[in-house]
Amino acid sequence: MVGSAIHRKLEADGFNKLVVRTSDELDLRNQQAVADFFAEEKPEYVFLAAAKVGGILANNTLCADFLYENLAIQTNVIHQAYVHGSKKLLFLGSSCIYPKLAPQPIKEEYLLTGLLESTNEPYAIAKIAGIKLCEAYHDQYGCNFISVMPTNLYGYNDNYHPELSHVLPALIRRIHEAKLSNEPSVTVWGSGNPKREFLFADDLADACMFLIENYNSPELVNIGTGKDLSIRDLAYLIKSIVGYEGELVFDPSKPDGTPRKLMDVSKIHNLGWHHTTPLQDGIKMAYEDFLKHRVVQ
């Protein structure tokens, strides 16, 4: 989702020497394969969007995979960008890097000031390692490697897997399927009380280009909207957009995750960037994309 959004942004801005590989073409977990790729292509600018991702269920059941594969991906790519002299690298992290009970909204300097949320700790630890790796290559070798922390993302080419997707695409799929089968209700994990912030992936791509062109510091940058809503309100918003007339039932026996994750985006606002896609408009576009391209899994 993120990689394709960045690719669209680059093409729209007139860049035509783009080097891309799908995961089938290049296994970024394979150290030698990544070394060979960089030796052959020698990319000047690197957007590191690849990661193994998923929601609470995926994080809980695939914890070793999430830690190992993400560490392998980012270690291989960041090191080879240094070895082959890439001019700049942008590393994409996640808002889950911050402490579970961090003050709200979450400032960049809150990193490593408290315990992580247990339901996504392996992923968060891997991403924190990536941030610190970029900082280390900057400090030791002078590499222009920057790190950005996007909030929860959604948009075109999202993952709608019934068990491995994040909350927003998961709700789109489940509520859509309930509509098709005339189910009287849809069960939503958790109490519905946790609050989340959501950013359209194409807005993230725009922010990434802005930072590639205007930011050269190893200190990380939050990317988000600065606005959040409860999972309950999100579910009802999706219900309205999908046109589902059944009931939503919240199951408090399921985990809620972090109570709130609202990003402080004053740093990127002060640099001159703001998001442009309202949440309702973005969900409508994501749902239209789901209807156009959905694959039953």
What would the mean pLDDT of 176-181 be, rounded to a whole number?
96
How far apart (Å, rounded) are the C-alpha atoms in residues 145 and 133?
9
Least confident window among 91-95, 127-131, 247-251? 91-95
* pLDDT, averaged across the chain: 94
Return the pLDDT at 217.
Answer: 96
Q: Give yes or no for a contact between 167 and 231, defined as CB atoms under 8 angstroms apart.
A: yes
What would the mean pLDDT of 226-238 be, rounded to a whole number?
97
Return the pLDDT at 178.
Answer: 97
Has residue 165 got a pLDDT over 80? no
Least confident window among 55-69, 150-164, 169-183? 55-69
Q: Is 8 annotated as a binding residue?
A: no
Cα separation of the two ends of the chain: 17
Q: Is 232 annotated as a binding residue?
A: no
Has residue 269 got a pLDDT over 50? yes
3-state secondary structure at position 71: helix
Q: Is 229 annotated as a binding residue?
A: no
Q: How far is CA 246 from CA 7, 80, 182, 288, in A?
A: 38, 52, 8, 21
This prediction has a pTM of 0.92
Return the pLDDT at 164.
Answer: 65
What would the mean pLDDT of 56-75 be, rounded to a whole number?
88
How far apart (Å, rounded) are the C-alpha atoms in residues 55 and 152?
11
Looking at residue 70, its amino acid is N
Contact partners, residue 24, CB within 8 Å, separation at least 6: none
How far apart (Å, rounded) are the C-alpha atoms in residues 182 and 176?
10
Q: Is 189 annotated as a binding residue?
A: yes
The more confidently predicted of residues 33 and 94 is 33
Return the pLDDT at 297.
Answer: 47
Q: Name the strands in the sheet holding 195-196, side by side, starting at the edge strand that comes first in the sequence.
A: 229-230, 195-196, 260-261
Q: Give yes or no for a contact between 164 and 58, defined as CB atoms under 8 angstroms apart.
A: yes
Q: How far is CA 179 from CA 133, 174, 243, 247, 262, in A?
A: 46, 9, 8, 11, 31
What would the mean pLDDT of 2-22 be, rounded to a whole number?
95
Nearest Cα residue to 287 out of 186, 130, 195, 171: 171
Looking at residue 35, its amino acid is A
Least confident window among 4-8, 153-157, 175-179, 255-259? 255-259
Q: Is 256 annotated as a binding residue?
A: yes
How far apart (Å, rounded) are the C-alpha atoms in residues 227 and 247?
26
Contact partners, residue 127, CB within 8 Å, separation at least 6: 51, 70, 93, 94, 96, 97
Q: Is 166 annotated as a binding residue?
A: yes
Has residue 296 got a pLDDT over 60? no
**Percent of the chain residues topping a pLDDT of 70:** 97
Q: Are strands 195-196 and 229-230 parallel, antiparallel or unpaired?
A: antiparallel
The more confidently predicted of residues 159 and 237 is 237
Return the pLDDT at 118.
Answer: 86
pLDDT band at 153 (very low <50, low <70, confident <90, very high): very high
What residues act catalytically?
Answer: 123
Has residue 33 got a pLDDT over 90? yes
Nearest Cα residue to 224 out of 64, 106, 89: 106
Q: Which domains does the chain have, with CATH numbers?
A: 2-293 (3.40.50.720)
Q: Is 260 annotated as a binding residue?
A: no
3-state secondary structure at position 285: helix
What would the mean pLDDT of 153-164 be, rounded to a whole number?
86
Q: Is 293 annotated as a binding residue?
A: no
**Percent of the chain residues topping a pLDDT of 90:** 85
Q: How far is CA 57 from CA 53, 165, 210, 216, 256, in A?
A: 11, 9, 34, 36, 11
Q: Is 273 annotated as a binding residue?
A: no
Q: In this structure, what token pair is assigned to residue 251? A: 């199951």
What would the mean pLDDT of 250-273 be, rounded to a whole number?
93
Contact partners, residue 183, CB within 8 Å, separation at least 6: 177, 246
pLDDT band at 295 (very low <50, low <70, confident <90, very high): low
How far apart (Å, rounded) are the C-alpha atoms in residues 68 and 71?
5
The more confidently predicted of residues 95 and 43 is 43
